[in-house]
């Protein structure tokens, strides 16, 4: 099956804009890109690109595709099946926003990944960690003072709580057995867990090194949820591949990250959105969360700007799932506000994100690459913020198939 897209302007994360281009898709892949007439089979499907701008399908490196705010009260009340059915509307919202690949940082299991691969519902392609590793009493330990454990549990989904070298090694093996593509570790307190502070480091250096050593035995990267400056430094020393959030990073640690080739996924959008929009009225911990957010929003942007100035490798992530899905590309404007050009911000969510994930077939609209691409009638090289509105994403193609428009 061939599809010919005529008269489009291709935006490359590296080269900028190429006007008046034609794209031939064969099956899932881009067979040819040319400014000249492309010769095709007689049965080719022709799409008039209407002089729109075409970009690679975007990549969100930090989402939670099943999550709907991580409200413990909903976990208590809802049947387990709702947890999985949430993936259907969340995935559609994510695709409609222009995101064709996601890296899920907790909750999506192997079944969700297989469902996407089998085409059981429209969804971004997905990399999974299954569940994060956390210390007893740490961020994402959902055992309440009442003794009730709010962590969702079912066969095939390991609990993430672990302490000490032997337990963290075993837990790393358990999540790999459950189908994890990478290992996620909660290395500091968090905003939404009530018994921790974002400034507190979690796990010892010995535990963190043991996790990395075990992960490397299966060529798996290790990612850290980490706000804490002390925690970030321990993760760098332990050999982690990425820091998620990085709220309290400073200039010295930024240089250390750059020198050790550690990637930063800043997720600026999530704190900003929560602080501006708050929490449900029935959330009995809302005041405590807002109080934490007030401090974090104040310092987060300034510190991430420092990291950018020091040359830290940055890729886009949004923490969608903590906040509503479908706003993913609003993060591009936040990256541009750090001082990035619009092209640089786009690269953080396309070519650089693909490289970070180890994917050599996405991130560009090029010959022999997978046909993941989006169409817009506005030029995001002039203002990346235009992509924040999903109505400006006119068409989305994933694996050569039109999934929007």
Q: What is the pTM of this model?
A: 0.96
Residue 350 CB coordination number (10 Å) = 27
Mean local confidence (pLDDT), 315-344: 97
Pair (45, 174) in one structural domain: no
pLDDT of residue 293: 82
pLDDT of residue 282: 67
| Residue 337 forms part of a structural domain | no
Give 101's strand partners.
Answer: 59, 125
Whether 53 contacts 13, CB under 8 Å: no
Q: Could you tell me which of 352, 316, 382, 361 has the C-alpha nearest to residue 17? A: 382
Q: How many domains does the chain have?
A: 2
Pair (218, 89) in one structural domain: yes
Of 308, 328, 348, the residue that ends a domain is 328
334 band by pLDDT with thresholds 50, 70 and 90:
very high
| Residue 338 forms part of a structural domain | no
Q: Residue 253 is encoded by which pair of tokens?
A: 């640690």
Interior/surface letters 285-296, b for 16+ CB within 10 angstroms, e for the rest: eeeebeebbebb
| Residue 351 forms part of a structural domain | no
DSSP-based three-state secondary structure for 34: strand
Pair (53, 66) in one structural domain: no
Chain mean pLDDT for the chain: 95
pLDDT greater than 80 at residue 358: yes
pLDDT greater than 90 at residue 12: yes
Pair (282, 216) in one structural domain: yes
- List alpha helices for 137-260, DSSP H: 164-177, 205-216, 229-238, 251-259
Pair (368, 263) in one structural domain: no
Question: What tens digit of pLDDT does each residue of 21-66 get?
Answer: 999 999 999 999 999 999 898 889 999 999 999 999 999 999 999 9
The span from the first CA to the last CA of the chain, in angstroms, equals: 19
pLDDT of residue 295: 77
Whether 243 contacts 263, CB under 8 Å: yes
pLDDT greater than 80 at residue 280: no
| Residue 273 forms part of a structural domain | yes
Whether 116 contacts 87, CB under 8 Å: no
Pair (188, 76) in one structural domain: yes
Q: Could you tell me which of 6, 11, 10 has the C-alpha nearest to residue 24? A: 6
The Cα 5–Cα 371 span in angstroms is 11
Question: What tens digit of pLDDT does each residue of 258-270 get?
Answer: 999 999 999 999 9
Structural domain of 33: 2-57+364-404
pLDDT greater than 90 at residue 210: yes
Read off the CATH number of the domain in which 292 is found: 3.20.20.140
| Residue 153 forms part of a structural domain | yes
Q: Could you tell me which of 353, 252, 352 has the C-alpha nearest to residue 303? A: 252
Pair (49, 63) in one structural domain: no
Share of the chain above pLDDT 70, in %: 99
Q: Residue 223 is encoded by which pair of tokens?
A: 């990612």
pLDDT of residue 281: 66
Question: What tens digit of pLDDT does each residue of 59-83 get?
Answer: 999 999 999 988 777 777 889 999 9
Q: What Å distances lie between residue 155 and 152, 159, 264, CA to CA?
A: 11, 10, 33
| Residue 42 forms part of a structural domain | yes
Q: Could you tell me which of 11, 13, 2 has the C-alpha nearest to residue 350? A: 13
Q: What Å distances lie between residue 368 and 13, 347, 373, 397, CA to CA?
A: 17, 19, 13, 15
pLDDT of residue 69: 87
pLDDT of residue 149: 84
Read off the CATH number of the domain in which 36 is found: 2.30.40.10
Pair (155, 286) in one structural domain: yes
| Residue 346 forms part of a structural domain | no
Give 53's strand partners.
Answer: 9, 376
The Cα 211–Cα 214 span in angstroms is 5
Of 303, 328, 353, the residue that ends a domain is 328
254 band by pLDDT with thresholds 50, 70 and 90:
very high
Pair (30, 141) in one structural domain: no
pLDDT of residue 369: 98
Q: Tokens 């980490």 — which residue?
A: 226
pLDDT of residue 384: 97
The Cα 243–Cα 58 span in angstroms is 20
Pair (75, 140) in one structural domain: yes
Residue 55 CB coordination number (10 Å) = 25
Pair (189, 209) in one structural domain: yes
Pair (384, 286) in one structural domain: no
Q: What Å distances lie between residue 136 and 133, 172, 278, 279, 374, CA to CA?
A: 10, 16, 28, 26, 43
Mean local confidence (pLDDT), 177-185: 98
Of 310, 328, 346, the residue that ends a domain is 328
């Amino acid at each position: 099956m061939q599809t010919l897209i005529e008269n489009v302007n291709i935006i490359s994360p590296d080269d900028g804009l190429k006007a008046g281009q034609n794209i031939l898709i064969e099956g899932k892949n881009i067979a040819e890109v040319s400014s000249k007439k492309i010769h095709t089979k007689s049965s080719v499907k022709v799409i008039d690109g209407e002089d729109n701008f075409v970009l690679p399908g975007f990549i969100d490196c930090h989402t939670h595709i099943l999550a709907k705010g991580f409200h413990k009260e909903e976990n208590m009340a809802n049947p387990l099946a709702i947890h999985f059915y949430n993936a259907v509307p969340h995935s559609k919202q994510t695709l409609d926003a222009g995101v064709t690949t996601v890296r899920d940082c907790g909750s999506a299991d192997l079944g969700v990944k297989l469902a996407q691969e089998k085409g059981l519902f429209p969804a971004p392609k997905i990399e999974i960690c299954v569940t994060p590793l956390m210390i007893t009493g740490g961020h994402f330990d959902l055992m309440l003072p009442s003794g009730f454990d709010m962590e969702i549990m079912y066969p095939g989904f390991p609990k993430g709580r672990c302490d000490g070298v032997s337990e963290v090694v075993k837990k790393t093996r358990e999540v790999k057995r459950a189908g994890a593509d990478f290992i996620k570790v909660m290395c500091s307190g968090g905003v939404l867990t009530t018994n921790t502070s974002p400034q507190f480091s979690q796990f010892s250096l010995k535990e963190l090194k043991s996790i990395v050593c075990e992960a490397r035995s299966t060529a798996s990267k290790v990612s850290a949820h980490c706000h804490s400056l002390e925690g970030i430094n321990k993760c760098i020393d332990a050999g982690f591949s990425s820091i998620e959030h990085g709220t309290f990073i400073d200039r010295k640690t930024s240089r250390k990250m750059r020198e050790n080739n550690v990637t930063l996924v800043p997720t600026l959008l999530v704190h900003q959105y929560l602080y501006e929009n708050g929490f449900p009225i029935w959330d009995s911990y809302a005041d405590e969360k807002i109080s934490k957010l007030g401090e974090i929003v104040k310092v987060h942007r300034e510190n991430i700007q420092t990291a950018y100035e020091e040359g830290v490798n940055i890729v886009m992530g949004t923490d969608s799932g903590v906040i509503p899905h479908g706003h993913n590309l609003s993060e591009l404007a936040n990256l541009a506000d750090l001082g990035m050009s619009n092209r640089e911000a786009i690269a953080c969510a396309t070519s650089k994100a693909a490289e970070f994930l180890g994917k050599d077939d996405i991130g560009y609209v090029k010959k022999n690459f997978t046909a993941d691409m989006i169409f817009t009638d506005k030029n995001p090289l002039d203002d990346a913020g235009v992509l924040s509105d999903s109505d400006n994403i006119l068409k989305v193609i994933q694996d050569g198939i039109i999934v929007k428009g």
